[in-house]
Homo-oligomer: A and B are copies of this chain.
Amino acid sequence: MDAKIIDVAAKAGVSPATVSRVLNQASGVRAKTRDKVMRAVDELNYHPNAAAKNLRQQKTMNIGVIAQDINNAYFTEIIKGIENMAYAQKYRVFICDAENQPEKEREYLTMLMDRTMDGVIMITPQLPDEEIGEMADKGYYIAVIGRHIEHAKIPCIYTDNVKFSRQVMEHLLACGHRDIVFLNGYPEAIDSYERLEGYLKALKDNHIPFRPELVENGNFNETGGFDAMERLIQKQIPFTAVFAANDEMALGVYQACAKHGISIPDQLAVVGVDNNRISKYITPSLSTVNQPKYTMGAIIVEKFIDQMNDNQFEDKRVFVVDSELLIRDSSNYNIKKS
């Protein structure tokens, strides 16, 4: 149905090899020949068959991005950074939505085994380090965003969870809070672990005893945050602030507060993480931690493409970027010390 290279060659009166040269290298061909070929290409509306090309060259110029959940703007913002940088380097980016399911991540990773993609960037905190490391051991190109993996072949970019977690805590402590809840994501996620670590360190630094009953899991989504908040209220332990490991869960906290008539920020301070778009619009506006998402995507894909080709920057594998605490209305309130 479609024109093939041999048709173009016939029409231009040259060999297939010459057509290929014109289309790919552009050098080593006489200008006149080039023109003939290009004219034939246009007339036949020729597009090289990707499968044949990929098979022959053993590469695809495709990069896959496996995102934990494309409904969450945290991921889509990063993806835009990836997409634009990759595009400039002639790579195509294909986005895959894992919908929070590790099995789907694994399913999409088969794109590497069957060579549909030259490499895959994972923005997902669920699959264990070892599993990803094994893939890299087998020679597949993998990069990760938002986590750190100890493996010489895996580029990583992330913000220092422990660091910003402590910042959040210092802010809440400065407002006079002492009974601070930590609302965790699902415990398997590295983000959860590290943010909890920051929470604990901040308590320790300030000589405040850790009380395990102030920590709840909320699975990184809104209903999880709501349910966790309900459980906390049930427990009847007093607390004056909630540090949620992401904004989604903080939204759940807002819902629970609305239900129980708890007023934010004067009865309860709330801080989230991610700077979701909603966090700015909701009332009261939600204090949160902002990460340079677009930039993170752009940096890692640049490194990744380099690795898949010249590998000039072999020595630079791990990128830590700064985040920023945005203090908004949900926590901007000094309580009286007890």
Q: CA–CA, A96 to B92, complex, Å?
A: 9
Of B48, B55, B111, the residue contacting A52 (CB under 8 A) is B55
> Is A311 interfacial (CB-CB < 8 Å)?
no
A237 interfacial by beta-carbon distance below 8 Å: no
Q: How many copies does the complex hold?
A: 2
Known: A50-B114, A50-B115, A79-B70. A281 touches B251 (CB 8 A): yes
7 interchain residue pairs of minimum CB distance:
A47-B113, A51-B54, A95-B95, A94-B94, A51-B55, A50-B114, A283-B283
Give the chain B neighbours of A129 by CB distance below 8 A: none
Structural contact, B281 and A48, CB atoms closer than 8 A: no
Complex alpha-carbon distance, A71 and B77, angstroms: 7
Contact string, A95-107, partner B, CB cutoff 8 A, digits 1/0?
1110100000000
| Centre residue among A49, A77, A83 by max chain B CB count within 10 A | A49
The A94-132 residues at the B interface (CB cut-off 8 A) are 94-97, 99, 110-111, 113-116
A282: Cβ under 8 A from any B Cβ: yes
Please give me the residue from chain B that is nearest to A52 by CB atom. B55
Interface contact A96-B97, CB-CB below 8 Å: no
Between-chain CB contacts (< 8 Å), 5 pairs: A47-B113, A55-B55, A62-B116, A83-B97, A94-B95
Please tell me if A80 contacts chain B, counting CB pairs below 8 Å: yes
